[in-house]
Amino acid sequence: MELAGKNAIVTGAARGIGRGIALKLAEAGANVALVDLGNPADPALTYNLAAQTDLQQTAAEVRRREVKAATILADVTRYADCQRMAAETAEQLGGIDILVNNAGIIAVGAVADFSEAQWDRVMAVNAKGPFLCAKACIPHLTKNREGAIVNIASIAGKKGYGGLSAYCASKFAVVAFTQALAEELGPANIRVNAVCPGFLRTAMWTEVLNKLSNLLGASGDEDNLSRIARTNTALQREQTPADIGEAVVYLARADNVTGIALNVAGGAEVH
């Protein structure tokens, strides 16, 4: 599918991986609806989410690529918000061709100490969110008999890590959801794939994972990510939001690829 002139939704678009995806789609010529919660505080989390100013800054960068950008505040755990997101995108951009389910959060801790509220919140955003967004967008996507859904999972959706039970469970769910939805939407020529990022220097890492001392032999030092990436990836380097964006662009374009979970992890995960 040629992306020039197509219309894409990216959830969790204000910063980090979402920002990288939005910019790469814009560089490929797609108009982008940038969706984010716009509320940094979440009582279930130990770090701040993106602010509305982050969303506006990313939208300005998208527009500098000479495509249209729409900013939409929405909670992906609420179906009414997802329906409004789809309707506003169709109205402002002219339709929906691509949905990128990127919005995600993380909470860490041993299962014995992990709160029910934390578990429910991680599963709601990371697993329920892609379901609700897809459900809201499918009627728009199927109108064109062509389109793509890309779900952002993780290498933690292919291998479990101690201290990350909720996050891993949610990302395993995303991979399974991707496979099931690919089978459902194949007859409508809607392709559904996932991307599994590896080690990225985003807020999840700097504010949360860097402090999880037992993750891959981590020591908690400032350059922990570089050391882990060097020792745990074949390419011996970190991944970037732009790397994930390039993978999303590929999967949005690839007309005969569906149901896969593509690792972008420098060889850290090959299954």
Catalytic residues: 167
Please tell me the distance from the alpha carbon of residue 220 to that of residue 231, in angstroms, as a whole number: 15
Q: Which sign, positive or negative, has the C-alpha torsion 112, 116, 120, 126?
A: negative
